[in-house]
Amino acid sequence: MLISKPRRGRDVPVRLPAVPFNTDDFHRSIIDRGSVVTCRVLIVTNRTDLHADIVAGKIVAHGGSTFRLNLDDFPRDYSLALDFTGDGWVGEIVHVPTDDRLQLSTIGSVWMRKPADYAFPSEDLALQEKQFACAEMDQFLIGLLHCLDCYWMSHPIAIRRANWKSEQLLRAARMGFRVPSSLIANRREAVDAFRAARGNDIVFKALSSPSLAAEKVAPEDRIAHGLPTTHITNGHGELLDAVREFPCFFQEYIPKRHEVRVTVIGNQVFAARIHSQDDPHTAVDFRDFSAEIKYEAERLPQDIEARCREFVQSYRLNYGAIDLIVTPDDEYVFLENNPAGQFLFVEQLVPELAMCDALARELVQGTRG
Amino acid sequence: MLIRMTLASGWDKTSNNEGAIAMNTEKKLFAFKLADQQAKSADQNRMWKARDGVAMAGCSFPTPVPPGYQLGVTPFQDTSIPC
């Protein structure tokens, strides 16, 4: 079985009302002005999100309805007026160009996809004005989202909680995964000792993002576009003095037979085997897509599959993209979990892993409780 | 005035344009020094390249969409660093 489903169906709903909330009389289809209103899926993302384009189409195909909040058009292209009534916020958000109207009370699911910088009607705000406007937007938007009692893919609190790689390693180890021995240090001698103790076989990886924050600066200010996980060799000796700037993350290099990308959507687990060792360009970091290595559906051992699901759900996430190594001895080694990671590239290379459809179904099901 | 810009594509340009604005691009951080070293290697020309028909959008900046982009109609491949 390539795609596993829970034995007891959707019996582990992960909902995170941010405030105490009586859900006894809460319904996913509500009565509004005498007619039944179908709850909608709110997609929070940016306007160039191909994942969201595709999944939105599938949500509609499954009978759902979407409202897309593109943060890089927000609040410029949206109008809203929300009232606090004592037991919640009411009102609507309107996407002005299309006149699509979202009543807050009809939000049944939220898909937190990707962040973006806000856009304001005035493009020439003074720097301090813009800083203030963004801080106010964060207060408004994140606060509002936290007031929603609905299905989340996944809740911002859960995403935030799950985002720290060093904590992930500890959690994964406690759950029975092998994890690479790791070092965080700003002392050159500690890095040298760590490397020597591991036969000079270690890698460096960015803890925050391989983009090296390129997306956070203007194109003309970019001095690097990114850095994959990198094998540290003797040739890097002089560079290692630079770890003094801030603590850097190193791991032992784990020999691989292949790698596995495990995507957990609700209770479903999708696993893709990545033949990263078939090409030297993907041997250390499989994300060099210029090497057309093979991807295929993977049948995970039952305990590994269950552990991946449990790992993601331990954060109360409804989504996670886990990277595993499989060693030549068939051991599964945990590398990291991406709580809002990508999945479309996997599905495009392994179409039988129908994750877009699964995600759409999950979000639509979420609106129906 | 020396301007040195290094891109992941391997494009490495040095200019003496007197009219240009100076930018401090001497890398201080280990990750940036590593990236710089990789950018100077021939293999770096390959890194972060897209694979035909595969969307990569992820940890880096969004790919600008073509004008009038319509899903399934306008050719478009989002390219960046997946995570």
Q: How far is B34 from chain A (nearest CA, A)?
A: 7
| Most confident range, picked from A22-26, A50-54, B8-12 | A50-54
3-state secondary structure of A136: helix
What is the C-alpha to C-alpha distance for residues A74 and A121, in angstroms, rounded to an integer?
9
Measured between CA atoms, the residue of chain B closest to residue A213 is B60
Give pLDDT tens digits for A73-95.
999 999 999 999 988 899 999 99
pLDDT at B19: 38
B2 touches chain A (CB under 8 A): no
Q: What phi and psi, each to the nearest 5 degrees, are found at residue A202?
A: -135, 165
CB A270 within 8 A of CB A263: yes
What is the C-alpha to C-alpha distance for residues A182 and A191, in angstroms, rounded to an integer?
10
State which amino acid sits at residue A297.
Answer: A
CB A183 within 8 A of CB A194: yes
| Residue predicted with more confidence, B5 or A287 | A287
Q: How far is B79 from chain A (nearest CA, A)?
A: 10
pLDDT at A291: 85
Res. A147: pLDDT tops 70: yes
Concatenated DSSP letters for A232-293? E-GGGTGGGGGGGGS-EEEEEPPP-SEEEEEEEETTEEEEEEE-GGGSGGGSS-TT-TTS--
**Distant-in-sequence, close-in-space partners of A176: CB < 8 Å, separation ≥ 6:** A307
| Most confident range, picked from A260-264, B34-38, B40-44 | A260-264
B3 touches chain A (CB under 8 A): no
Give pLDDT tens digits for A317-328.
999 999 999 999
What is the C-alpha to C-alpha distance for residues A63 and A354, in angstroms, rounded to an integer?
18
Q: Burial code of A314-344, b = ≥16 C-beta within 10 A, e = fewer?
A: bbbbbbbbbbbbbeeeeebbbbbbbbbbbbb
User: Nearest by CB to B49, which of A215, A223, A289?
Assistant: A289
pTM: 0.84
pLDDT at A44: 95
Please answer yes or no on whether B54 and A289 come within 8 Å at the CB atom: yes
State which amino acid sits at residue A103.
Answer: Q
Give pLDDT tens digits for A166-214.
999 999 999 999 999 999 999 999 999 999 999 999 999 999 888 888 8
User: Nearest by CB to B54, which of A221, A248, A345?
Assistant: A345
Please answer yes or no on whether B57 and A50 come within 8 Å at the CB atom: yes
Res. A232: pLDDT tops 80: yes
Res. B33: pLDDT tops 60: yes
A178 touches chain B (CB under 8 A): no
pLDDT at A251: 98
If you average pLDDT over residues A253-271, what whole number do you get?
Answer: 98
pLDDT at B26: 82
**Of A25-29, A262-266, A308-312, B55-59, where does mean pLDDT reach its minimum?**
A25-29
Give pLDDT tens digits for A154-174.
999 999 999 999 999 999 999
Chain centroid to CA B58: 14
Measured between CA atoms, the residue of chain B closest to residue A261 is B83
User: Nearest by CB to A225, which of B7, B43, B55?
Assistant: B7
Share of chain B above pLDDT 70, in %: 25
CB A55 within 8 A of CB A366: no
**Distant-in-sequence, close-in-space partners of A77: CB < 8 Å, separation ≥ 6:** A70, A95, A96, A97, A119
Chain B interface test: which of A211, A233, A281, A347 (most B C-beta within 10 Å): A211
ipTM of the complex: 0.82
Chain B interface test: which of A72, A114, A195, A223 (most B C-beta within 10 Å): A223
pLDDT at A21: 32
